[in-house]
């Protein structure tokens, strides 16, 4: 069995027709490529939705077999300083392409990780070398890209893949790898991936390394997510006013399943909407969950913050929130 991440490359789409879930974007990008002249482009959206894949397809369609000689890919989260823009990017951008086209392509993955200074340098590079180079930027949050860069790009906003799109890819992989995956197992896989196709493929591969018969329990173990039933027990204790039992059960879940506090918060947020309480109370608890997640991300102690959230549930059960 191949190692983790191998399947994401093995089954990466190589043509526009193979890309799923981004129909309108693919249509617009294909028309630009067919004209053999593309603008600077910004691909924005969640992880695992096809941004890097589409950039590779664009380059292969433009340059054919010689695409590697006319393409530079940098991951901005690794190389995020101004020196990278001034040296690597500028040196590549100022040279002529080795092909009939008048430009090369630079792909900056995770461009929202670039420092503001690096983005300012990139802005000038995009302007000065637009005759010999086109930029494709990819990011999760376009708001972190400075306005001057956004105004120089055509922006394409990617969306999370729908269940039918992920199912299409999973079925194709299952057929070629001779896997048996039930509808219940696929539901668990899609729930764990949350529309991130790359994560879905990685979970499938990790499960297949254990057995070709994929089960929901296997997906649950591999994904290391909290079971909704366990979170429901914690919340039921809290709403019933038993803070100590809720706290002990939560600690037991976190230690036994080795789950982080942020993952627990996400599971709690989902489970809030399944509780049999007033809609207004659900809104208040959702707001509390958001505040708790923010504090944990900023560096607060996870378990203290989760206890604070459980206290809010206890007050909600007593109609004091």
Q: Are strands 41-44 and 133-139 parallel, antiparallel or unpaired?
A: parallel
Q: For position 1, what pLDDT does the model report?
A: 39
Q: For position 115, what pLDDT does the model report?
A: 84
Q: Taking a C-beta distance cutoff of 8 angstroms, is the pair 189, 219 a contact?
A: yes
The Cα-based distances of 16 to 6, 58, 62, 138 in angstroms read: 21, 8, 12, 18
Place of tokens 């997906």: 219
| Burial track 279-310 (b if 16+ CB lie within 10 A, e otherwise) | eebeebbeebbeebbebbeeeeebeebbbebb
The Cα 18–Cα 175 span in angstroms is 16
pTM of the model: 0.78
> Within 13 A of 49's CA, how many CA atoms are on the CB side?
22
- Joined together, the tokens standing for residue 231 give 């979170």
Of 62, 131, 61, the residue nearest 96 (C-alpha): 131
Q: Is 110 left (phi over 0), alpha (psi -120 to 50) or beta?
A: left
CATH label, 163-223, candidates 3.40.50.300, 1.10.8.60, 1.10.1580.10, 1.10.30.50: 1.10.8.60
Q: For position 121, what pLDDT does the model report?
A: 85
Q: For position 220, what pLDDT does the model report?
A: 79
User: CB-based contacts of 183: which residues, under 8 Å, 6+ apart?
Assistant: none
CATH 1.10.3720.10 fits 228-317, yes or no: no
CATH label, 22-157, candidates 3.40.1280.10, 3.50.30.40, 3.40.50.300, 3.30.565.10: 3.40.50.300
User: CB-based contacts of 14: which residues, under 8 Å, 6+ apart?
Assistant: 57, 60
* Predicted confidence pLDDT, tens digits, the chain (321 residues): 344 468 888 888 889 999 988 999 999 999 999 988 899 999 999 988 999 999 999 999 999 888 988 898 888 666 656 666 777 788 888 888 877 788 999 999 988 888 888 888 888 888 888 888 999 999 999 999 999 999 999 999 999 888 899 999 999 999 999 999 988 999 989 988 888 889 899 989 988 888 899 988 888 778 767 778 889 999 999 999 999 999 999 988 888 777 888 888 988 998 998 888 898 999 999 999 999 999 998 888 988 999 999 999 999 988 887
Backbone angles phi, psi at 74, to 5 degrees: -130, 140
Q: For position 194, what pLDDT does the model report?
A: 82
């Amino acid at each position: 069995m191949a190692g983790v991440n191998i399947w994401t490359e093995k089954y990466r789409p190589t043509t526009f027709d193979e890309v799923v879930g981004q129909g309108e974007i693919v249509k617009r990008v294909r028309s630009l490529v067919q004209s053999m002249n593309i603008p600077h482009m910004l691909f924005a959206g969640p992880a695992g939705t096809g941004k890097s894949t589409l950039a590779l397809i664009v380059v292969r369609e433009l340059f054919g077999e010689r695409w590697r000689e006319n393409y530079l890919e940098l991951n901005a989260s690794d190389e995020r300083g101004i020196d990278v823009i001034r040296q690597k990017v500028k040196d590549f951008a100022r040279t002529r392409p080795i092909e009939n086209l008048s430009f090369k392509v630079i792909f900056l993955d995770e461009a929202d990780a670039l420092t503001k200074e690096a983005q300012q340098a990139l802005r000038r590079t995009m302007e000065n070398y637009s005759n010999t180079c086109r930029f494709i930027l990819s990011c999760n949050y376009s708001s972190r890209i400075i306005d001057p860069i956004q105004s120089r790009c055509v922006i394409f906003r990617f969306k999370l893949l729908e269940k039918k799109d992920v199912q299409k890819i999973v079925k194709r992989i299952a057929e070629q790898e001779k896997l048996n995956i039930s509808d219940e197992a696929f539901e668990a896989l899609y729930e764990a991936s949350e529309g991130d196709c790359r994560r879905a493929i990685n979970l499938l591969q990790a499960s297949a390394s254990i057995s070709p018969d994929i089960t929901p329990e296997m997906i649950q173990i591999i994904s290391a997510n909290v079971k909704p039933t366990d979170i429901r027990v914690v919340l039921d204790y809290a709403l019933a006013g038993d803070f100590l039992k809720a706290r002990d059960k939560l600690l037991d879940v976190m230690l036994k399943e080795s789950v982080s506090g942020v993952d627990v918060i996400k599971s709690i947020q989902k489970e809030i909407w399944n509780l049999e309480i007033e809609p207004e109370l659900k809104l208040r608890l959702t707001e509390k969950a958001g505040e708790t997640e923010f504090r944990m991300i900023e560096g607060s102690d996870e378990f203290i913050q989760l206890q604070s959230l459980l206290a809010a549930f206890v007050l909600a059960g007593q109609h004091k929130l």
